[in-house]
Structure 1
Amino acid sequence: MRVLKSLLAPALLAVLLGGCGGSTRVESYAPNRIVVFGDELSLIGTNGSKYSVNALKADAVSLDCATYPVWPQVVADGYGMVFSECNPTAVASPAGVMKASVGATVADVVAAVSAFQASSTFTPQTLVTVMAGQHDILNAYKAYDAGTLSRALALSQVSAAGKALGALVNNVANQGSGGRVLYSTPPNLGYSPFAAAELVRTSDADRVTLLKELTLAFTAALRLEVINDGRYAALITADELTISMSDPTKMVSYALTNIVDQVCTVALPNCTTATMAAGAAGVGTAYLWADAQHPGVSFQSRVGLAALNRARNNPF
């Protein structure tokens, strides 16, 4: 599978690879299956589409699902696995299982894991990826905006969601008897085009601050809840990556030319290399954001490579 290859410096890896304990690896971890849970940031649609920029084949019509992969796809590729949703070489019995869904909250992910466990079992050779929380954060923000939640209650609500996701990671790992889990924090929406638009709409700079605080509350609760044992679970700090990639002084090091605007001119997942903003042709990967709320190709690649590095180097 063709994967957007990015060279990550040690300093960048430190940002992406959250603090998880663990001993030195004795032998290489070799999963025989990868199961993906989360929202659309982890999703490959049945037609191979993603909630990012979709590459096109030479006919300029058909999707090239192997190019511009989502982060679990990068991990799967590193272990020679594919998903039935994107299987260009017609691998028999793909080892990738896609259980992510559009708009999934933490509660939805918990339900998806329960449904999966009703007919299947997580073993130490099952590599599980989890990224959720973005919609919990957005829902809390929208409730605050509508006046149905106070700021304190909005922060409390996302903290509870973060704690619930942490408990789910612990459940899947099951103290080593379950799967091995790569879990990622969500992107920090306080740096998104959505946040910028909210600032304009409300003329209130505190809206940007609130989105940042909601993300921090969620991620802090998540990190505190997960049992800090790198033998079973490994953290990727995508929220911190968002902040780092949004720094104008670091654009060159991230090969970015635009950290403010969205690159897609149509709604996701229908965005392709043919529907990018004027002037973005050929450099769509150099935009941080695909649309107002979803990071694009470069973000996905960096999260995926960091997660793969975790799986290869943690003592799973």
Structure 2
Amino acid sequence: MRTTLLPALAASIALLLASCGGGSVDSQLDPTRIIVFGDGFADIGQAGGRYTINDGTVNNWTLTLAGEYGNALATSASGGLSYATGNARVNTLPDAAGSSGHPTVKQQVDTFLASGAPTDTDLVVLAAGTGDVIAEAQAYFSGSETQAQMLANLAQAGVDLGTQVRRLLAAGAEHIVVVGPYDLGKSAWAVQLDQASLLESASTQFNSQFLVSVADLGENVLYVDAAYYFNLVVASPTTYSLDNATGVVCTSVDSGAGIGTGISQVNSSLCTSDTLASGIDPSVYLFADRIYFTPVAQRLFGEYAYGRIRDRW
């Protein structure tokens, strides 16, 4: 019964976190800083390329969001306030690609709080869970853990993300946006492996448990539902001026672990305008690699997130 009821409860909490509070045109948030923590979905080039097509455009949704507010956003490695790092997990090492050298989301928050504190005029963004879903799914596929263990670990990761939200609130943040993993059951990875059901369950488990863990924080926390948004895109790509929601546009194969989905797979952080499949128009594709999105899809989600934030604050 608990497994059956949890997604419905989480959906109700998501609606609450997306709508409670509210603002008006006269009282909109105008953040002085945008601070970002997370994994590859939010990484704007912490260790090199971004997880999309590196074509010189605004190609990550957090950059779109910052631009809507007229703010600059740079990696923490270059002195900025975007700590998001590809393949990061919430509170577990190694990361999704097997590296222990990249900080978890908790460690990213540790680093930020060690140098200062958020204020009531900051917009704090946490975009995490994709790395955890990839790592746990791979552990299941390899036989090193059962499906029940995978789901239990993802439930804990969701709770751990809620813990980081509470830390930031306690430190002074008043406007926190959280984006969990989109439904990886809709990813090109799921299509190629024929594992849509399992990856959907994995993604839902993380998101559901996160939402339950922050159910009392609606005044200061906004959940922007990437799963809801990208499910709409996949269901009707032409509505979003896309033609292909299953194929991969990049050809940048990584001989190493790459994005965590296997050796010698396409890694969009290595993808440029010169490593695209021949004869393909990238502007009508959803996926750059088996997990991450093209620049046009990133920008669309950034605009969606900005609209949700403006509606809320």
**What TM-score, normalized by structure 1, do the two folds share?**
0.79
Question: Could you say which residue in structure 2 is the equivalent of 1:126?
Answer: 122
Question: Could you say which residue in structure 2 is the equivalent of 1:191?
Answer: 186
Question: Could you say which residue in structure 2 is the equivalent of 1:153?
Answer: 149
d(CA) in 1 for partners of 2:51, 2:82: 14
Distance 1:24 1:68, change over 3 A: closer
- Residue 97 of structure 1 aligns to a residue whose secondary structure is coil
| Aligned partner letter, 1:302 | L
Question: Could you say which residue in structure 2 is the equivalent of 1:178?
Answer: 173
| Aligned partner letter, 1:75 | L
The 5 Å alignment of 1:49-64 reads 49-55=49-55, 64=56
> How many Å apart are 1:208 and its aligned residue?
2.4
**Deviations, residues 115-153 of structure 1 (Å, cap 9, x unaligned):** 210111011111111111111111111111222211111
Distance 1:170 1:232, change over 3 A: same
**Deviations, residues 200-256 of structure 1 (Å, cap 9, x unaligned):** xxxxxxx32111100011111111112455541211111122222212xx1211111
Query: Which residue among 239, 246, 266 is the counterpart of 2:227?
Result: 239
The answer on 1:73 being equivalent to 2:79 is no
Question: Could you say which residue in structure 2 is the equivalent of 1:209?
Answer: 197
Question: Could you say which residue in structure 2 is the equivalent of 1:290?
Answer: 288
Question: Could you say which residue in structure 2 is the equivalent of 1:5?
Answer: none
d(CA) in 2 for partners of 1:191, 1:39: 19
> How many Å apart are 1:193 and its aligned residue?
1.7
d(CA) in 2 for partners of 1:216, 1:30: 32
Give yes or no for contact 1:17–1:306 (8 Å, CA) kept in 2: no
**Deviations, residues 93-116 of structure 1 (Å, cap 9, x unaligned):** 99x512011210011101210221
**What TM-score, normalized by structure 2, do the two folds share?**
0.79
d(CA) in 1 for partners of 2:82, 2:241: 30
d(CA) in 2 for partners of 1:40, 1:179: 25
Give yes or no for contact 1:173–1:179 (8 Å, CA) kept in 2: yes
> How many Å apart are 1:297 and its aligned residue?
2.1
Structure 1: which 5+ runs fail to align? Answer: 1-14, 56-63, 87-92, 200-206
Give yes or no for contact 1:273–1:284 (8 Å, CA) kept in 2: no
| Aligned partner letter, 1:189 | L
Give yes or no for contact 1:20–1:235 (8 Å, CA) kept in 2: no
> Which structure carries more helix by proportion?
2
Question: Could you say which residue in structure 2 is the equivalent of 1:256?
Answer: 242
| Aligned partner letter, 1:263 | V
Provide the alpha-carbon RMSD of the alignment: 2.6
Question: Could you say which residue in structure 1 is the equivalent of 2:162?
Answer: 166
Range moving further from structure 2, 74-83 or 221-230: 221-230
User: After the TM superposition, which segments of 4 or more aligned residues of structure 1 sit over 4 Å from their partners?
Assistant: 15-18
> How many Å apart are 1:268 and its aligned residue?
2.2
Give yes or no for contact 2:53–2:273 (8 Å, CA) kept in 1: yes
Give yes or no for contact 1:127–1:181 (8 Å, CA) kept in 2: yes
d(CA) in 2 for partners of 1:113, 1:209: 32
Range moving further from structure 2, 210-219 or 302-311: 302-311
Structure 2: which 5+ runs fail to align? Answer: 1-13, 92-103, 253-266
- Residue 246 of structure 1 aligns to a residue whose secondary structure is helix
> How many Å apart are 1:47 and its aligned residue?
8.5
Equivalences, count: 272
| Aligned partner letter, 2:286 | L
Question: Could you say which residue in structure 1 is the equivalent of 2:30?
Answer: 30
| Aligned partner letter, 2:301 | V
